[in-house]
């Protein structure tokens, strides 16, 4: 059975129907991409899963449990934003440990978890730096570390590479794919870049105007675009 099961999901902003009955399955540990032009509903879908948007219709289960019944902060789902939203005045370690500290974890437990995710994302030796002392790719790894430190089952990434220079982006596509494998949780990544979706994802959902037109592997899409 799939980790994430979306059925008939619909959402509107006033008269704008942003999602029109979306059905999707995402497997555990899968790198899943949502591909489509600006305005097709990708962000609305992500925000509905994260709990920042209230869909008008449909069901979503995560690991068999009703996701939509849970408030955002109780969902085992995290979102990584375009801008990364790192605290500029805090070190890498403090940026990553901020959430667990606020959640009331003991200092020793926070330190252990921070050290572990720093290893996972390959930021060893950089824990004392501030975001301004890091490269774009390193900042992205901090954002990723912060998004996985509380051990979600699903990570949502909204245009994760769009803040990076064009020449770093191709390299980071492979890097993100490798990190997803390392982290071992399902990723749902939003992008409007077909090349990016095809180079990273295990499967791609092609969206247009609030609907999913097709779900296919990159191989299938190359053969049958």
Gyration radius (Cα) of the chain, Å: 17
- What is the C-alpha separation between 51 and 46, in angstroms, rounded? 9
- 147 near ligand ADP, judged by CB under 6 A: no
Whichever of 48 and 95 has its CB closer to ligand ADP, that residue is 48
User: What's the closest the beta carbon of residue 116 comes to ligand ADP, in angstroms?
Assistant: 32
The string of DSSP letters for 106-167 reads -HHHHHHHHHHHHHHHT-TT-TT--GGGS-HHHHHHHHHHHHHTT--SEEEEESTTTTS-HH
Whichever of 11 and 148 has its CB closer to ligand ADP, that residue is 11
User: What's the closest the beta carbon of residue 42 comes to ligand ADP, in angstroms?
Assistant: 4
- 38 near ligand ADP, judged by CB under 6 A: yes
User: What's the closest the beta carbon of residue 156 comes to ligand ADP, in angstroms?
Assistant: 12
Residue with tokens 């790719």: 137
Q: How many residues bind ligand ADP (CB under 6 A)?
A: 11
Helical segments of 12-73, H only: 42-50
Among 30, 41, 131, 200, binds ligand ADP (CB under 6 A): 41
Whichever of 116 and 195 has its CB closer to ligand ADP, that residue is 195
Whichever of 36 and 97 has its CB closer to ligand ADP, that residue is 36
Q: In the 8-state DSSP scheme, what is residue 175?
A: H
Query: Going residue by residue from 8 to 37, which x/- string records binding to ligand ADP, judged by CB under 6 A?
Result: -----x--x-x-----------------x-
- What is the C-alpha separation between 161 and 79, in angstroms, rounded? 14
Among 10, 43, 95, 173, binds ligand ADP (CB under 6 A): 43
14: left (phi over 0), alpha (psi -120 to 50) or beta: left
Q: In the 8-state DSSP scheme, what is residue 62?
A: E
Whichever of 44 and 95 has its CB closer to ligand ADP, that residue is 44
Catalog residues that contact ligand ADP under the rule CB under 6 A: 13, 16, 18, 36, 38-44
């Amino acid at each position: 059975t799939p980790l994430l099961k979306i059925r008939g999901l619909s959402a509107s902003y006033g008269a704008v129907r942003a999602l029109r009955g979306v059905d999707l399955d995402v497997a555990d540990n899968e790198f899943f991409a949502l591909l489509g032009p600006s305005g097709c509903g990708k962000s609305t879908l992500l925000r509905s899963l994260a709990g920042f948007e209230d869909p008008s219709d449909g069901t979503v289960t995560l690991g068999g449990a009703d996701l939509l019944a849970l408030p955002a902060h109780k969902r085992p789902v995290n979102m990584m934003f375009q801008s990364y939203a790192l605290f500029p005045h805090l070190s890498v370690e403090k940026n990553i440990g901020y959430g667990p500290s606020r959640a009331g974890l003991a200092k020793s437990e926070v330190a252990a978890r921070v050290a572990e995710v720093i290893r996972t994302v390959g930021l060893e030796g950089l824990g004392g730096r501030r975001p301004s002392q890091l490269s774009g790719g390193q900042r992205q790894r901090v954002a990723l570390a912060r998004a996985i430190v509380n051990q979600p089952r699903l990570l949502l990434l909204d245009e994760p590479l769009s803040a990076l220079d064009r020449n770093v982006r191709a390299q980071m596509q492979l890097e993100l794919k490798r990190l997803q494998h390392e982290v071992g949780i399902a990723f749902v990544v939003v992008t409007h870049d077909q090349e990016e979706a095809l180079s990273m994802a295990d499967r791609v959902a092609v969206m247009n105007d609030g609907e999913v037109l097709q779900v296919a592997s990159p191989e299938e899409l190359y053969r049958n675009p």
